[in-house]
């Protein structure tokens, strides 16, 4: 039986793919989005699927929320400011949109309850992921120390002074909130999982890894790393990587992310749960930049290593996705190289403003790069 699903922030990258899959199965989709310039450029509501019911508005507008929640069965809460680096200086903006926005949503839900709310959380809540030292012992509270000289290891060190090995991070690992963005995502998560059951609803949190695919905001220097690299390459410039490029990440295609949201909306075992959503395959950022350059026909543009760290960045964090596989039946389907080829083909037809340099200048001026 079809349902009415509200997607806050639904005109964004992930929201559009979630909407597409919901429409394909026969649901009615309503989107609330304020189309901010940093994410959407000069786009208007005309770029949104006409089959979607689009409402322009801010998630902090209680009156607008009361209207868009009428007749809604379930909510996908994606509305958020996104960007670790920017969050470290646009503090009030990130806390307001992400946390006040979530609080305002739930205030409105008290009078307009739904069956289930699925919130987009983030891998950033873990800080550094889980590590194993040379003796095989696991460490979940790893904190990197500032490098005292250029010969020091970029990696966290174990008790014996040797670099530790990153291992897949499960949901039970304690949060280590290293940025304002991470703090706000954890608050969004906890508000959802605390308030939903208190008022007869169900809450689910998906901790997303690095989503990529066609449709990302190429001109937003604080978006996903693959979109940032693609923007640079599209403009004939080499990708810039902080540190030494050997930090490891998991990249998941946006179609797989959207499938995870549909499972989280429907599966009985999802209620009250927190789930890691990634591809299950990790790569170094340097390898990813090299593969993307090849996919875009620019293998000559080798990554430039900045040799510096941004405040709030982590070294390694890769997901253990067993819980999502076992409880939700989640299965990542998209091959990474095929996904890069698809992204490259889409980027070739786009116009992208490379704003990476100005974003880095902003961070350096505030002492957030060292």
Catalytic residue positions? Answer: 181
| 315: CB partners within 8 A, 6+ apart | 128, 144, 154, 155, 156, 166, 243, 247
Cα-based distances in Å from 79 to 42, 195, 277: 19, 18, 18
The torsion angles phi and psi of 201, rounded to 5 degrees, stand at -110, 175
Q: Contact, 203 vs 192, CB < 8 A?
A: yes
Whole-number Å distance between alpha carbons of 167 and 161: 18
Whole-number Å distance between alpha carbons of 102 and 85: 21
Whole-number Å distance between alpha carbons of 364 and 95: 22
Q: Please compute Rg for the chain using Cα positions.
A: 20
Whole-number Å distance between alpha carbons of 336 and 209: 14
Partner residues linked to 55 by β-bridges? 32
Whole-number Å distance between alpha carbons of 85 and 301: 25
> What single-letter DSSP state applies at residue 355?
-
| Tokens encoding 6 | 């509200």
Cα-based distances in Å from 367 to 127, 183, 247, 275, 309: 20, 20, 22, 35, 11
Buried b (16+ CB within 10 A) or exposed e, 229-266: bbbbbbeebbbbbbbebebbbbbbbbbbbbbbbbbbbe
**DSSP string of 193-237, one letter each residue:** HHHHHHTT-EEEEEEE-EEE-TT--TT-TTS-HHHHHHHHHHTT-
């Amino acid at each position: 039986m079809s349902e009415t699903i509200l997607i806050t922030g639904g005109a964004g990258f992930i929201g559009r793919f979630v909407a597409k899959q919901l429409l394909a199965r026969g649901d009615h989709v309503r989107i609330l989005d304020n189309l901010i310039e940093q994410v959407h450029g000069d786009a208007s509501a005309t770029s949104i699927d006409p089959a979607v019911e689009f409402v322009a508005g801010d998630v902090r507008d209680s009156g607008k929320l009361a209207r868009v929640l009428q007749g809604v069965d379930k909510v996908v809460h994606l509305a958020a400011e996104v960007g670790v680096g920017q969050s470290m200086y646009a503090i009030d903006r990130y806390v307001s949109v992400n946390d006040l926005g979530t609080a305002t949503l739930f205030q409105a839900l008290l009078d307009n309850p739904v069956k289930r709310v699925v919130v987009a959380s983030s891998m950033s809540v873990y800080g550094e992921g889980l590590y194993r030292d040379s003796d095989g012992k696991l460490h979940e509270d790893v904190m990197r120390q500032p490098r005292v000289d250029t010969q020091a290891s970029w990696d966290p060190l174990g008790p014996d002074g040797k670099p530790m090995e990153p291992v897949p991070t499960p949901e039970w690992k304690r949060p280590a909130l290293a940025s304002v963005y991470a703090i706000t995502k954890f608050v969004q998560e906890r508000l959802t999982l605390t308030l939903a059951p208190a008022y007869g609803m169900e809450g689910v949190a998906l901790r997303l890894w690095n989503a990529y695919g066609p449709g990302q905001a190429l001109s937003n220097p604080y978006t996903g790393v693959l979109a940032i690299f693609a923007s640079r390459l599209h403009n004939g410039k080499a990708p810039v990587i902080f540190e030494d490029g050997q930090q490891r990440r998991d990249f998941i295609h946006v179609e797989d992310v959207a499938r995870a949201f549909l499972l989280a909306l429907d599966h009985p075992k999802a209620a009250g749960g927190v789930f890691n959503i990634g591809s299950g395959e990790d790569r170094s950022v340097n390898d990813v930049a090299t593969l993307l350059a090849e996919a875009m026909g620019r293998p000559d543009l080798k990554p430039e290593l900045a040799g510096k760290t941004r405040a709030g960045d982590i070294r390694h964090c890769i997901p253990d996705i067993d819980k999502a596989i076992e409880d939700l039946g989640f299965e990542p389907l998209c091959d990474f190289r095929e996904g890069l080829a698809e992204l490259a083909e889409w980027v070739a037809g786009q116009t992208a403003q490379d704003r990476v340099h100005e974003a880095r200048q902003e961070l350096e001026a505030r002492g957030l790069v060292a």
